[in-house]
Amino acid sequence: MHLPWCLAEKVPQRLQRQPGSFKPQGLSNVLYALALLQPECGRQWSAVVELLAAECKQCSFVGFSAQGVSNSAWALEKLGYRSDQGLFVAAMAAAARPDMMRTFTAHQGLSNLWLALARARHRPVAALMEGTIEASEVLRTQATGQGCANMLWSLATLGDVNNRRLVDVLVKRLWVLLPERGS
């Protein structure tokens, strides 16, 4: 059996027989894989996506790593799952926890989370904005050009470009990265 079709069949069976049987990393990995396979597989994933989203929402992303929350939110949005704002509330609440914010990497995790929120048109809670601002030193020294661009686009889309400190950090980081590409 072709792997994508096998996933489309086996994941719902397992979730219906054993709700909560996927570990957080497993949920995140399946969602990420489906998001990457989606262009080839079309819309037959909607039932699978609904079940996986329900699992994430039900557990409120407890036990997920920072990357797992980010990848799951990004994948669900990429798969067209935007209507259930409660899912994004749960993802933001998990991501905004101080222990979680400290573990986000500037390379992709934080920018992918913001990108998913912006595409889903979900306004972030103050704690997520504050945590992102607190991570500005990491962003200033480690963010990639794509990460900076994604964060700036997300902030603009959500109407949060008035946060001068965060915008300045991202623009300055882009400025530092520009000469590396032009050399």
CATH number at residue 70: 1.25.40
The dihedral through the CA atoms of 39, 40, 43, 48 has a sign that is: negative
Alpha-carbon distance 13 to 8, whole Å? 9
pLDDT in tens, the chain (183 residues): 455 666 777 777 887 788 777 899 999 998 998 888 765 555 567 778 888 899 999 999 999 999 999 999 999 998 888 888 899 999 999 998 888 887 876 557 888 899 998 998 888 888 888 888 888 778 888 888 998 999 999 999 988 766 788 899 999 999 999 875 555
**Which of 90, 101, 26, 102 lies closest to 62, judged by CA?**
90
> Cβ–Cβ contacts within 10 Å for residue 26, how many?
14
Structural domain that includes position 77: 3-178
**Which of 35, 32, 22, 34 lies closest to 67, judged by CA?**
32
Is residue 90 in some structural domain?
yes
pLDDT at 1: 45
Is residue 183 in some structural domain?
no
Is residue 56 in some structural domain?
yes
The dihedral through the CA atoms of 74, 34, 42, 18 has a sign that is: negative
Quick check: 171 and 163 in contact, CB under 8 A?
A: no
Domain count, the chain: 1
Measured CA distances, 52 to 23, 32, 79, 96 (Å) = 12, 11, 11, 22
**Which of 84, 85, 70, 87 lies closest to 35, judged by CA?**
70
Is residue 107 in some structural domain?
yes
Is residue 119 in some structural domain?
yes
Is residue 114 in some structural domain?
yes
Locus of tokens 């994004």: 88
